[in-house]
Amino acid sequence: MRSEREVSQAIDKYVNLITRICFLFLKNEADTQDVLPSVFLKYLKHDKPFESEEHEKARFIRVSINACKDILKNFFHSHIVSLDKVEQFFLTEPPQHPEVLEAVLSLPQKYRSVIYLYYI
């Protein structure tokens, strides 16, 4: 396990590089910020010394790319719909069955939420 000083120096040296790489892959600031701790945690646990500074940098790049790919492969990441798209759909599409919409809207809030979550 690496010392706190080594990890701190690595963070100062590579945080901008890793952030840029992850943002290129994920195109999302929140996911990028989620990847950073996992990359540095893997560095903290990696006991073997690096051959050179270039080897260390290459390792950070490869670990970052793999962490981004793991997030992109995640089931929940691939099945996300933004709220903007949902709102646009309801604003542009007239309901096909307005009586169903009226029936759902007349339900109590706790049942209405379940219907929304299941179908939307």
Same domain for 15 and 72, yes or no, is yes
Q: What is the pLDDT of residue 40?
A: 94
Separate counts of helices (H) and strands (E) for the chain? 7, 0
Same domain for 26 and 66, yes or no, is yes
Note the pLDDT tens digit of each residue in 43-101.
Answer: 999 888 899 999 999 999 999 999 999 998 887 777 777 666 666 666 666 667 778 77
For Cα atoms 109, 81, 86, give the angle at the middle one, nearest 5 degrees.
55
Report the pLDDT averaged over residues 15-35.
Answer: 92
Radius of gyration of the chain (CA): 22
Same domain for 38 and 18, yes or no, is yes
How would residue 42 be classed by pLDDT, with cut points 50, 70 and 90?
Answer: very high
**Start-to-end CA span in the chain (Å):** 46
Q: Is 104 a residue whose pLDDT tops 90? A: no
Same domain for 73 and 109, yes or no, is no
Rounded to an integer, what distance in angstroms lies between the CA atom of residue 101 and that of residue 105? Answer: 6
